[in-house]
Amino acid sequence: MIPIKTPAEIATMRIGGQITAAVLGVMCSAAAEGVSTWDLDQICAIELAARGAKSACFGYSGKQCPFPAQICISINDEVVHGIPSKQKFLKAGDIVSFDLVASYDGLMTDSTRTVIVGQTSPEAEQLVRQTELALFAGIAKALDGGHIGDISFAIESHAKKFKLGIVRELVGHGIGRDMHEDPRIPNWGRRGQGPKLKAGMTLAIEPMLMLGSETLNFDNDGWTVRTADGKWAAHWEHTVLVTKNAPEILTVLKK
């Protein structure tokens, strides 16, 4: 069952989405050479609290242990769910993704951005940029009357155009009262397939793309997902409201 949000829930998610966007903006500006990911996590806690929101990542239950931080920070060959650490420092040329689910007044919004620390290789830069554009290609298909497969197909087509690998083990998802609601939103698929899209659905669309092979490894910390071949990955995500007209991106700053 795919939840359709009430006008009141949508109003709350609009506020929450602005908070998620603002906090991610701070995180991206703070991502500089020499900063530890633990320090970045502390900043995240402060910025969320200052806006009356909470991290839904913290304590989220995984296979082995609850997620121990406010935000997932994944560097280079880490694809998703990197755990902030006092031992991990950003270096020039790194690509760093910040994946944040903020909870505000009982509703969640989920967004991810990948930033480059200083300058990186042309190849890595293209990975970051085209993963973001794959996200926007998918969002453009989040239309009332369309299908989940339209979003999936648009993302897959964009990835293929730039010969980027697609993460198959993890997918986008509905979001709202729960972090992961129906439907699943794979980053590959066929037009016209899958559940039908309706105004009032809120979807976390999230391409995770890679420079190398699609095989992944799971670290024994219970969370970190990385590429098996060590090539780099990027991740971009927005929470989007399906409307009767154009999709509304809730996790982009509107002011």
Footprint of ligand MF3 on this chain (CB under 6 A)?
A: 57, 60, 67, 72, 81, 99, 101, 110, 204
- Residue labelled with tokens 């109003």: 11
Q: Which is nearer to Co ion, 189 or 207 (CB)?
A: 207
* Structure tokens that stand for 197 in this block: 């899209």
For residue 68, whether the previous peptide bond is cis, meaning omega lies within 30 degrees of 0, is no
Residue 208 binding partner per list Co ion, ligand MF3, none, with a CB distance cut-off of 5 to 8 Å that depends on partner kind:
none
The answer to whether residues 23 and 48 touch, using CB atoms and an 8 Å cutoff, is yes
148 binds, among ligand MF3, Co ion, none (CB under 5 to 8 A by kind): none
Q: Are 233 and 75 in contact (CB under 8 A)?
A: no
**184 burial level (CB within 10 Å; 0-12, 13-18, 19+):** middle
3: Cβ–Cβ under 8 A, 6 or more apart, which residues? 174, 176, 177, 181, 182, 201, 202
Structure tokens at 199: 């105004």
The listed partner (ligand MF3, Co ion, none) that binds 77, CB under 5 to 8 Å by sort, is none
- Six-digit token pair at 253? 């700053």
Minimum distance, C-beta of residue 145 to ligand MF3, in the bound complex (Å)? 26
Is 12 or 251 the residue whose CB approaches Co ion more closely? 251
- Cα 104 to Cα 53, 67, 159, 203: the distances in Å are 5, 19, 33, 17
What's the min distance (Å) between Cβ of 45 and ligand MF3?
A: 14
Q: Nearest approach, Cβ of 78 to ligand MF3 (angstroms)? A: 13
Question: By C-beta, is 45 or 170 nearer to Co ion?
Answer: 170
Using CB atoms within 10 Å of the CB of residue 230, give its burial: 0 to 12 exposed, 13 to 18 middle, 19+ buried. exposed
Q: Which does 60 bind (CB under 5 to 8 A by kind): ligand MF3, Co ion, none?
A: ligand MF3
Judged by beta carbon, residue 56 or residue 154, the one nearer ligand MF3 is: 56
Minimum Å distance from CB 39 to ligand MF3? 18
List of residues contacting Co ion (CB under 5 A): 110, 204, 206
Nearest CB to ligand MF3, comparing residues 57 and 203:
57
Considering the complex, state which of residue 120 and residue 210 has its C-beta at the smaller distance from ligand MF3: 210
Instruction: Supply the minimum distance, in Å, between the C-beta of residue 171 and ligand MF3.
Output: 9
